[in-house]
Structure 1
Amino acid sequence: MTRFVTPTLAGLMALLVWSTATAQTPAVPSLTQNPPPIPVGRVTVSASAVFADNNQPIRSGLVWRVYEDRGDTVQPNIVSRSSSPTPTFNLSPGNYIMHAAYGFAGASKRLSVQAGILTERLTISAGALRLKGAVGESPIQPNKVSFAIYVPMAQNSEGRLVIANAKANEVIRLPEGTYHVVSTYGDANAIMRSDLKVESGRVTEATLNHRAATVTLKLVGSAGGEAFAGTAFSVLTPGGDVIREAIGAFPSVTLAEGDYVLIARHEGKVHTRDFKVESGLDRDIEIVVPPT
């Protein structure tokens, strides 16, 4: 008898984590779609997965695992795995749990395998995100922007973290639902947030638009002159909060649009100036050392 399991998002995430932790367990290789003759006493199980909303087949991005089912109180052993979209498993008669992971989404099903050739289809409520960053009409280079993705939760402004450092243009497979996305441009305070909906069977593409610019910090003897090496810079808000610190002749920092205070320390002397960051206007910020 075949019995369905309807896992929760948390349950699927836990199963994925557990599967990763057991990845070193020796696995029985899965068969291809053109298997050799089935040994006596074995059962062939062919599997496939579809999207929940339209029953369209999932043709890529799947990872299949088959576990020996020894009851709810005993941790199951993995007996086979495959990354084929339509794998075929050669199993001994018995009880199993079949799980298909689609990125951070997935579905599972309990199987009672006795004889013959079985065909199983899992339904997954999942879609994907593809994210980009931009400043105005100018795209941000993918290596300069990253994304954190959260599941919204009650009484929590961001929610539970799902992915800490997703890359631009990456296809991020997720369970169907709404997510809170935080985009960070550079490594300072250029941050944008958005709530995005993932629909089953669809790739949601979104561009998070930053109001920011990259400035190059310099301590010079005259306007446009050569920068002094070994200068320690601090970028502060007008209220005194430190945003970024750097050491060098001309370090660069990406900052959100707004007003700032720059402090430069060199050879025991401290120099300061106020400056403004305008979105999309990359430029040098110089402090000119007054003549002695």
Structure 2
Amino acid sequence: MLAGTAEAQTTPAVPSLSQKPPPVTLGQVLLAPTAVFPDNQPIRSGLVWRVYEDKGDTTQPTIIARSTSPTPSFTLTPGNYIVHVAYGFAGASKRFTIQSGSVSDRLVISAGALKLKGAVGDATIPAGKLTFSVYVPIGSNSEGRLVIANARADEVIRLPEGTYHVVSTYGDANAIMRSDLKVETGKVTEATLNHRAATVTLKLVGAEGGEAFAGTAFSVLTPGGDVIREAIGAFPSVTLAEGDYVLIARHDGKVHTRDFKVESGLDRDVEIVAKP
């Protein structure tokens, strides 16, 4: 189900480069894991490795090493270890027993990524004015489980393979668009969510085109009376989904109102002329 419009494309991840492991001294062992997608394509970046000493099922594992290298090499004492690798919100883990020499193995991660942006018509929305929330649908609930909130435009969001529900918020009011997007293993899905919205600047003036009154309290309501946004100032701005609204301005103990309409892509001033 799509609520809003999204344009998506996928690009393959880039294979990683290998590096020469350090020499192993007497009484030490070398653990050199790598992370791959299910097709054995190496994962180049975005990895966080943690090595735990495995003391048995009854004891909490102790973390002894970390790395963000795509091809880490851990010099350890002989023993039992648990290696975990995180790729954003995806990951994999594996147990190792190393008594001598060196061990290299692959951990398989079924994951890809999302890279999101927003637009109004042909105009890209500045990244600082957008946030994204990503959900895993559960049953008929598209927002079953929140994975990440307040992600930014152009941020690479690494996720396990699957279908996600993305909510894009433009500004801090009701300009919201939704889309279901699929994350494929080893690929970055780039999507643009198209908003139908505009930014209006609210003003209370003594005469049309006149100076705005400072300290005015504004409320933006739906025609049914639901409050969408409140602000105080001479000319606050608010981004709204296209549609019909009621504006209320309070100043010096007086209340002034007017109806106005938001058209997608048409940023403008909305003035209320104060009545004596």
Same fold (TM over 0.5): yes
> Closer, same or farther in 2 for the Cα pair 1:263/1:155, shift >3 Å?
same
Q: Does 1:43 align with 2:21?
A: no
Partner of 2:4: none
Deviation at 1:124, TM superposition (A): 0.7
- Structure 1 stretches of 5 or more lacking a match? 1-31
Match of 2:254 among 252, 269, 275: 269
Match of 1:145 among 130, 150, 161: 130
Match of 2:208 among 211, 223, 226: 223
Partner of 1:164: 149
Deviation at 1:72, TM superposition (A): 3.0
Deviates most, 54-63 or 131-140? 54-63
Find the aligned partners of 1:154 and 1:242 in 2 and give their Cα distance: 31
TM-score (norm 2): 0.91
* SS of the residue 1:222 aligns to: coil
Find the aligned partners of 2:84 and 2:91 in 1 and give their Cα distance: 7
Deviation at 1:157, TM superposition (A): 3.4
Q: How does 1:16-95 map to 2 (within 5 A)?
A: 37-52=23-38, 54-95=39-80
Deviation at 1:155, TM superposition (A): 4.4
8 Å CA contact 2:116–2:153 kept in 1: the answer is yes
8 Å CA contact 2:135–2:142 kept in 1: the answer is no
Deviation at 1:47, TM superposition (A): 1.4
Cα RMSD for the two superposed structures: 1.4
Deviation at 1:179, TM superposition (A): 0.6
Find the aligned partners of 1:72 and 1:172 in 2 and give their Cα distance: 33
Deviation at 1:35, TM superposition (A): 6.0
Q: Does 1:154 align with 2:139?
A: yes
Find the aligned partners of 2:163 and 2:177 in 1 and give their Cα distance: 17
Q: Does 1:134 align with 2:122?
A: no
* SS of the residue 1:217 aligns to: strand
* SS of the residue 1:115 aligns to: coil
Find the aligned partners of 1:271 and 1:64 in 2 and give their Cα distance: 60
Identity, % of aligned positions: 78
8 Å CA contact 2:214–2:233 kept in 1: the answer is yes
8 Å CA contact 1:33–1:88 kept in 2: the answer is no
Runs of 4+ in 1 over 6 A off after TM superposition: none
Deviation at 1:230, TM superposition (A): 0.5
8 Å CA contact 1:186–1:254 kept in 2: the answer is yes
* SS of the residue 2:112 aligns to: strand
1:62-108 per-residue CA deviation (whole Å, 9 max, x = no partner) reads: 11111111233322000111111001011111111111111111111
Deviation at 1:37, TM superposition (A): 4.1
TM-score (norm 1): 0.86
Deviates most, 74-83 or 266-275? 74-83
Relative contact order higher in (CA < 8 Å, ≥ 6 apart):
2
* SS of the residue 1:187 aligns to: coil
- Structure 2 stretches of 5 or more lacking a match? 1-17
Instruction: Name the structure with the higher helix share.
Output: 1
Deviates most, 66-75 or 128-137? 66-75
